[in-house]
Amino acid sequence: MTVKEKIEPLTMTFEDDELVPNNRLPFLIYKHAVDVGKVEPERAIEELFGSHGWGDMWRNGIYDYLHYHSTAHEALGIARGHARVRFGGDRGKEIEVSAGDVVVLPAGTGHQSILASRDFSVVGAYPRGQRMEITRPTPENHQKALKTIPQVGLPDTDPVVGKNGPLVRLWKQ
């Protein structure tokens, strides 16, 4: 698994839109972070995430309906293909992601696949001890999420770079 030595993610934050809470922590995008030119890029991403303490992994795509996770932060490693994904809810931003990219969503960040290639494949992972729950944007869920999101602990490591990675620095400011 090859990861660029001095990689810095693109960062952005999304405002609470009263249905999707989003988060004050920055959303991170590592463009072309992982060499996925291997026979099984999903396994390479799983090994990378696992080596940095992120687990409870899955392989799939990104749901085509708006949702968020109010009980866990989430890393998404793009193993194959490409997609246009809206992050931050209906008032968020559509971003093109492709094989080798990794995005890290702080708890509460809305996301939804808008259009994906047929071969689109994602590996998802969560910080140690965090369990993901899929939450749809409703006023009731929003109110609950405002209570659970502040209780979600900060990860000890960056899923791409590890203990001294950008996520650790950016999320503790």
Q: Phi, psi at residue 166, to the nearest 5°?
A: -55, -40
The verdict on residue 5 lying in a domain is: no
The predicted-structure confidence for 40-98, as pLDDT tens digits, reads as follows 999 999 999 999 999 999 999 999 999 999 999 999 999 999 999 999 999 999 999 99
| Strand ranges of the sheet holding 121-127, from the earlier edge strand across to the other edge | 10-14, 23-30, 102-105, 74-80, 121-127, 54-60
CATH of the domain at 132: 2.60.120.10
The verdict on residue 2 lying in a domain is: no
As a whole number of angstroms, the distance between CA 92 and CA 86 comes to 6
**160 membership: H or E segment, kind and range:** none
* Domain region containing 139: 10-165
How many independent structural domains does the chain possess?
A: 1
The verdict on residue 103 lying in a domain is: yes
Tell me the whole-structure pTM to 2 decimals: 0.95
Instruction: Looking at 106-154, list the stretches that DSSP marks H as alpha helix, in order from N- to C-terminal side.
Output: 139-148
As a whole number of angstroms, the distance between CA 47 and CA 41 comes to 10
As a whole number of angstroms, the distance between CA 165 and CA 167 comes to 6
The verdict on residue 4 lying in a domain is: no
Residue 3's pLDDT is 57
> Around Cβ 27, how many Cβ atoms within 10 Å?
23
The verdict on residue 40 lying in a domain is: yes
The predicted-structure confidence for 119-143, as pLDDT tens digits, reads as follows 999 999 999 999 999 999 999 999 9
User: What is the SS3 string spanning 39-70?
Assistant: CCHHHHHHHHHHHCCEEEEEEECCCCCCEECC
As a whole number of angstroms, the distance between CA 128 and CA 27 comes to 19
Q: Which residues pair with 12 in a beta bridge?
A: 27
The verdict on residue 173 lying in a domain is: no
Q: Which residues pair with 105 in a beta bridge?
A: 74
Residue 1's pLDDT is 46
The verdict on residue 71 lying in a domain is: yes
The verdict on residue 67 lying in a domain is: yes
